[in-house]
Copies of this chain bind each other. A is one copy, B any other.
Amino acid sequence: MRVSIIGATGYTGEELLRILANHPAAEIKYLTSESQTGAKIDSIYPHFNHFYDQALVNLADLDKIVADSDVLFIALPHGHAMEIGKKVSGQGVKVIDLGADYRFKDTAVYEKWYKIPHVHPDAKAVYGLTELYREAVRTADIVANPGCYTTASILTLAPLVKNKLIDLTSIVVDAKSGISGAGRGLNLTHHLPEAFENVKAYNIAGHRHTPEIEQALSELAGSQVVISFTPHLIPMSRGILSTCYARLLDGVTASVVDEAFHALYGQEYFIRLLGRGGYPATKNTRGSNFCDLGWHIDTRTGRVIVVAAIDNLVKGAAGQAVQNLNVMFGLEERTGLTQAPLYP
């Protein structure tokens, strides 16, 4: 199919290009950039030398882009995708948005956390956490690709919430992310001498991935879930580790927990179950679309601790977007996503 990427110069756009370079059915039509229109993509990302040498076009050409594309990936800061989605609605092009605009069923939640009005509230977007919403993705016109922290955190907790194994008021998610998750924009916090040999938390009790995690868990639980979510910056480029804590309900045994994970994910290729006692490591997923999961029962405290590792730019962004693309276009879901992780 013909693919265009709206916002191709950020890390998410770059990663889509990396993955699609080995996707047999995707043909890249247009790449856009407002600030660098006219530049060649391999001058901005020299590692793409021999892969891509397209010149970046401007969003002003949206009509032409839509006419020549079967699907648009939108990799822009929030606020832009809903404008574009509204414009192209009904023109036959599918949209996969890697930002936040279409992630919330209730646009009031979006407006509260993102502090701007939603301009396309009647869009019928599908939340693209593929393993949980695959059937809806299949026929969607707009897919809201989940956030990076979100993907890692929902996947850890879904089997527990869905099967009513945990106290829903007891959930704590402590997540650690490499710095590419913050994007390519310059910021003192991400300047190497500042970020190196350093760890810190940020946006405690206020990170925008919180309501997204809560929305999915609430839906699975059938009642409102509220969580504590704390993100941390780790001195590395790629990878998220999400460590999730919850209190097991009375009588829930270890083997019941095991079964919940195997029942939900046993057939999922991109979810690798390391089992009870397993220790996911971000490096084992680097460059791949896998989410590795391990869980632990703390009998002293009655808690279950589940750990997930993903590559934030792949399963946490571009990889899952391509997984959704495959589902939407009836392709084998692994198409273009068959690379083994890059280790060491």
Query: Any chain B CB within 8 A of the CB of A187?
Result: yes
Given A186-B186, A188-B184, A191-B191, A200:B279 Cβ within 8 A: yes
Query: Any chain B CB within 8 A of the CB of A36?
Result: no
Residues in B with CB closer than 8 Å to A179 are 192-193, 196
Residues in B with CB closer than 8 Å to A32 are none
Q: How far is the CA of A245 from the CA of B172 in the complex (A)?
A: 8
Shortest CB-to-CB span from A78 to chain B, Å, is: 21
Query: Any chain B CB within 8 A of the CB of A73?
Result: no
| CB-nearest residue of chain B to A197 | B236
Task: Assess whether A282 is in contact with B49, with CB atoms less than 8 Å apart.
Answer: no
Task: Assess whether A343 is in contact with B18, with CB atoms less than 8 Å apart.
Answer: yes
Task: Assess whether B309 is in contact with A237, with CB atoms less than 8 Å apart.
Answer: no
Residues in B with CB closer than 8 Å to A341 are 18, 47
Say which residue of B184, B230, B245 sits within 8 Å of A191 (CB atoms). Answer: B184
Shortest CB-to-CB span from A118 to chain B, Å, is: 22
Task: Assess whether B47 is in contact with A198, with CB atoms less than 8 Å apart.
Answer: no
Mark interface residues in A200-240 (1 if CB within 8 Å of B CB, else 0).
11101100000000000000000000111010101111110
- Chain A 291-319 residues near chain B, CB threshold 8 A: 292, 296-301, 303, 305, 307, 309
Residues in B with CB closer than 8 Å to A305 are 204-205, 228, 230
> A48-B340, A196-B344, A205-B301 are known contacts; what are 5 more A-B pairs with Cβ within 8 Å?
A50-B290, A191-B191, A199-B241, A200-B307, A237-B344
Say which residue of B274, B284, B301 sits within 8 Å of A227 (CB atoms). Answer: B301
Task: Assess whether A344 is in contact with B194, with CB atoms less than 8 Å apart.
Answer: yes
Say which residue of B17, B204, B269 sits within 8 Å of A296 (CB atoms). Answer: B204
Task: Assess whether B51 is in contact with A344, with CB atoms less than 8 Å apart.
Answer: no
Query: Any chain B CB within 8 A of the CB of A45?
Result: yes
- Count, chain A residues at interface, CB 8 A: 86
Shortest CB-to-CB span from A198 to chain B, Å, is: 4
Task: Assess whether B298 is in contact with A192, with CB atoms less than 8 Å apart.
Answer: no
Q: How far is the CA of A199 from the CA of B202 in the complex (A)?
A: 18
Query: Any chain B CB within 8 A of the CB of A339?
Result: yes
Shortest CB-to-CB span from A239 to chain B, Å, is: 6
Query: Any chain B CB within 8 A of the CB of A21?
Result: yes
Residues in B with CB closer than 8 Å to A338 are 21-22
Query: Any chain B CB within 8 A of the CB of A190?
Result: yes
Task: Assess whether B300 is in contact with A201, with CB atoms less than 8 Å apart.
Answer: no
Given A186-B186, A237-B192, A49:B18 Cβ within 8 A: no
